[in-house]
Each structure stands twice: as C-alpha cells, then as structure tokens.
Amino acid sequence: MGASWIHGIGKGVQGLQEWKNKYNPLYQVTLENNIKTLATWKERDNGEYLFYWYKGGEMTYDVGTVFKLFQNSLEILQDKANINTSLKEMYSKFNLTQKTSSGDAKLDQNIKDYTFAHFCGFEYAADADQISGKYISNDYLFLGPEHIFPDGYIQIPITLAKDLNVILNQKITHIDYSGEYVNVITDNGQIFEANRVIVTVPLAILKSKMITFTPQLPQSKQDSIEKMGTGLMDKLYLEFQDVFWDEEADWLYYISDGNVKWGITLNHYQYTKKPALILFNFGKDAREFSELSDEDVIRSAMETLRIMYPQATDYVKYYRSNWNHDQFARQAYSFVKVGATKEDPLNIAQDIDKKIYFAGEHTNFNFIGSAHGAYISGIDVASKIIDD
C-alpha cells in the first residue's frame, strides 16, 4: 500500500533540459525488464471525475470553476509570498468561490478547503497551514500518461536488487564516521565497515534520531532536516462483490461538512476490472485515522460511501496502510514546509567528508515526494561517489 503510480512516463520534463527525450527512469526500468504497467490518464486532473457532497449524491455546485480560479491565481499570489507564508495564509484574503458562491458561507469554506486538499494536500500529503505557499507547484513533472502496476510496485525494488547482496533484518542505530572507515552499527551490536555509506532512510527517521551519528551531523544539515516537512498519506483498499459506483469515472471526489476526510477515491475497477475502490486520507486526517482500529477506519469510510451511494454494499476484502505506525517509515513522503526553502533538500543531500552521502526523495527538490525522485537521487549519489 505504498507507491502506486509512475507519475508521467515521459519522454521529457517540462523546464528541465537534461531530461529531454528521456523516459521517467522508473518507466525505463519497466521497459528493460518486461514489467507490466497500465496507462491511466495523462494527468490526474484530466481524468474523468465526479463530485459528491455531504448532503447526499452528486454535488450541485460548480466546483470545477473554483479549481480553475485556484490554478489561475496561484502564480500571482506566490509572487507576493515569502518562505513563512503557508498556502492557507496565502489565500486567506482571496475569494476562491467569488464566481460560484452558493450564498452559504460554510459551504463556500468547505469548497475552498477541499480545493486546497485536492491540489496540494494530495500531492504533498499535508495540510494547507503546513505547506509552503511560496514553493508549492515548484517541483517538476515528467510528461506523458500516468501508469500503474497491476502486479504491484514491489516489482521495481525486486528487479533493482537482483544480484545484490542485500542483508535484511538489520536495524541500524548508529553510524560512526570519525575514523578512516565508516562503521555502521546495528541494535544487536553487529558492525559493518565501509569506505563510504549512503543514508537513504526517510526524512522522518532522520528527524526522529533513531540513527545517531559520530560526529554529530553538521548543524546546518540538522537544521534543514528539521525545517522540511514529513507528509502523511494513507490508503484504504476496499473490494466488493459488485460495482455499485460509476464505472467510467477515474476519480470520485467527496466534499464533506467541515473536513476533508475520504475526499479522494480512485476507481480501481476502471483499470483492473476488480470491483474495488482505493480511498485516501492525508495530513491531520491521516494522523487521526492512524490511531484507530481497522474496524473504525472502515466504518468511517463506508459511512461516506453510503452518503455518496446509498446502494453501497458491504466490502468483502480490505487492505490498509498506516505509515505513521511503521517504525521504519513514519511518513509517506516529504514536502517543503512553511519556513523551509529549496536549499534545504540540497543541504540534506550534501555529503560529509566524502564518507557519508544522503539520498531519498527528500534530497531532490526537483522531484520531491516521488518514487522517481528517490531513484534519481540514488543515481546521482552513485555517480558522485564514482567521481570522488
């Protein structure tokens, strides 16, 4: 229940000449290793979608116009923002519903909150008061359609790990780079000695100090680690006996009464022909759900689905992610938080004495928060070690 998509297979990245006529490197891996993928839509917002709301059934207001106004106003407002301006603050005095106001101030606010969640909460796995207004949408996207893996993303790491000596079930607690060699020490006292070490743990693990360093990491690197944001997104996969929803829609959007819980649902049937839905939560809602039992989470999801579709049947199978309680992740993916800058991922990526190197999506500002961003950062570090 981790990564699902290759976000743009290529070729090319708009605005980055070095990727001209090149595929997304993860898609290149699938081509070279005969890994099956399925095309979905060109971009998420170009898919077929339907809006539902808390009063039941399909939404009767023109949310699409609000979306367009958000997109058209973003760059203008960003020019006036600074690094301490959140997305929420940036739009605090901007009337997003000016062209489609319902006359109901609460409903207008719900639509505004959902717009933030749709465009930024989903992409950065965070809430509007946490996301940097200045740096949203400043990352780069590969061109081309989005692809999913009918047999799972796990095929990528399995393929990449082929013929490598991967040592499993070793919990690293300390890295000592004070001597000629680097010592990587596990919780049971085992020591692995190396000339160079690449640290690829998630940002949340660096923040937690689950792994300590001797000497301590440079203060500037520690500061950048703290300033960056760790996003949280969780998925709930529900499989049913039959399809009771709109088969042709890619996305089912739900505008609730005062929050954005269960606001985004993917119609999995559209691509796999399995009668299944994948429901998403992120930010504070994901953290709240992370403390609940499977039964309570599913009950909440089904209550929402039955508002959207009163004829909804009971599920027959489910899978649930809970990244907040995964001790080796503690997050979904990273984002530029209020107070951070584009220099912070670069600072985290900086090597220490050509001994300790860092990689991961949180070190790659251009592709932050993406699986291909993590992969590219690893390729970059490997190339740097060769050059060094």
DSSP letter for each residue of 258-302: SS-TT-EEEETHHHH-SSEEEEEEEHHHHHHHHTS-HHHHHHHHH
For residues 119 and 105, the answer to whether their CB atoms sit within 8 Å is: no
In this model, does residue 232 exceed pLDDT 70? yes
The backbone torsions φ and ψ at residue 18, rounded to the nearest 5 degrees and listed phi first, read -65, -15
| Burial annotation 304-341 (CB, 10 A radius, 16+ → b, else e) | bbebbbeebeebeeeebbbbbeeeebbbbbbbbbbbbb
**What was the pLDDT predicted at 258?**
77
Query: What is the mean pLDDT of the segment spanning 300-309?
Result: 96
pLDDT, position 43: 54
Query: Region 354-377: what's the mean pLDDT?
Result: 96
Indicate whether 83 pLDDT > 60: yes
For the chain, the average pLDDT equals 92
Answer whether residue 152 shows pLDDT above 90: no
- Does residue 123 surpass a pLDDT of 70? yes
**Domains, the chain, ordered by start:** 167-229+331-387 (3.50.50.60)
- Residue 202, pLDDT > 90, answer yes
| Amino acid of residue 2 | G
Q: What is the pTM of this model?
A: 0.92
Share above pLDDT 70 across residues of the chain, in percent, rounded to a whole number: 96
